[in-house]
């Protein structure tokens, strides 16, 4: 896209997606699928030997969950959807269990291996890896999403809202709106029950930072917003 302002100097806008929503390169995705498939075989008892190659695969899969927990990479939202949209806390628990499993395999502690496998399965990780390998990710039932959006050019102008649909569809809808030149990206997402009431509580807490009374835009640093939302979600015990 090329825009020519009054001084006739071209301004190029080449950004096609917002933060978190970058597509994964096919070769990288294939490597991740292979690692997830290997771990699935081990979890299902189809692979008895737990050697160095499995530890490497564990590192790859742990990295997927870690980026979804930290939500700090340009493709984190893409990976999160591929894993079936697990809650942030579950992503953290899954990454922790996989780190423990990798350590247990390296030390040859059979009972510890079984315990870490059980911990990972309890987070829903086995089902999520199956979705990841199959290339389909169902919508969680009885849940909605609290999201934080922004653009790279205006990182303090945050759109904070909720949706009971796909977050990706909501972002695309916003980015298609007239006047949106730079696409919004997903800075953070929480999977919650009663998303509308959680949003109302958040908007009440964020009232001093609201840009306009009739809009869901707030002027504050993302790190401060993240802590306030995290605490609210924790206080209401609504996170999935």
For 96-107, how does the pLDDT look when each residue is reduced to its tens digit (9 = 90+)?
Answer: 999 999 999 887
120 and 191, same domain (yes or no): no
Last residue in a domain, options 134, 154, 177: 134
**What per-residue confidence (pLDDT) applies to 210?**
95
Query: What is the rounded distance in angstroms from the CA atom of residue 111 to the CA atom of residue 217?
Result: 51
Last residue in a domain, options 104, 134, 164: 134
Torsion sign (Cα): 219, 225, 229, 235: negative
45 and 121, same domain (yes or no): yes
Residue 13 has pLDDT above 60, yes or no: no
Structure tokens at 200: 């109302």
Contacts of 227 (CB under 8 A, 6+ apart): none
Query: What is the rounded distance in angstroms from the CA atom of residue 238 to the CA atom of residue 145?
Result: 11
Q: Is residue 110 part of a domain?
A: yes
* 187-200 tens-digit pLDDT: 999 999 888 999 99
110 and 150, same domain (yes or no): no
124 and 154, same domain (yes or no): no
Last residue in a domain, options 89, 109, 134: 134
Least confidently predicted of 6-20, 96-110, 133-147: 6-20
Domain tally for the chain?
A: 2
**What per-residue confidence (pLDDT) applies to 218?**
96
Q: Distance of CA 66 to CAs 95, 118, 146, 207, Å? A: 6, 19, 20, 32
Domain that holds residue 217: 144-236
**What per-residue confidence (pLDDT) applies to 136?**
81
Residue 14 has pLDDT above 80, yes or no: no
**What per-residue confidence (pLDDT) applies to 1?**
46
CB burial of 72-107 (b: ≥16 within 10 Å; e: otherwise) equals ebbbbbbbbbbbbbbbbbbbbbbbbbbbbbbebbee
**What per-residue confidence (pLDDT) applies to 236?**
76
Residue 239 has pLDDT above 50, yes or no: yes
Query: What is the rounded distance in angstroms from the CA atom of residue 207 to the CA atom of residue 214?
Result: 11
This prediction has a pTM of 0.81
Mean pLDDT value of segment 59-88: 94
Structure tokens at 79: 């990976």
């Amino acid at each position: 896209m090329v825009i020519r302002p009054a001084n006739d100097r071209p301004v190029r806008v080449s950004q096609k997606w917002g933060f978190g929503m970058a597509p994964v390169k096919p070769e990288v995705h294939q490597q991740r699928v292979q690692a997830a498939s290997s771990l699935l075989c081990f979890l299902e008892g189809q692979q008895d030997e737990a050697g160095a190659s499995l530890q490497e695969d564990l590192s790859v899969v742990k990295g997927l969950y870690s980026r979804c927990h930290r939500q700090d990479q340009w493709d984190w939202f893409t990976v999160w959807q591929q894993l079936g949209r697990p809650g942030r806390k579950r992503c953290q628990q899954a990454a922790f269990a996989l780190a423990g499993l990798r350590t247990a395999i390296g030390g040859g502690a059979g009972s510890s291996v079984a315990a870490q496998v059980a911990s990972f399965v309890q987070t829903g990780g086995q089902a999520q890896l199956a979705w990841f390998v199959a290339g389909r990710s169902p919508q969680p039932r009885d849940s909605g999403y609290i999201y934080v959006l922004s653009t790279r050019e205006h990182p303090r102008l945050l759109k904070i809202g909720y949706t009971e649909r796909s977050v990706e569809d909501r972002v695309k809808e916003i980015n298609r709106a007239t006047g949106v030149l730079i696409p919004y990206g997903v800075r953070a997402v929480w999977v919650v029950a009663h998303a509308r009431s959680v949003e109302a509580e958040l908007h009440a807490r964020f009232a001093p930072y609201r840009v306009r009374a009739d809009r869901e835009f707030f002027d504050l640093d993302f790190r401060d917003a993240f802590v306030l939302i995290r605490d609210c979600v924790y206080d209401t015990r609504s996170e999935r």
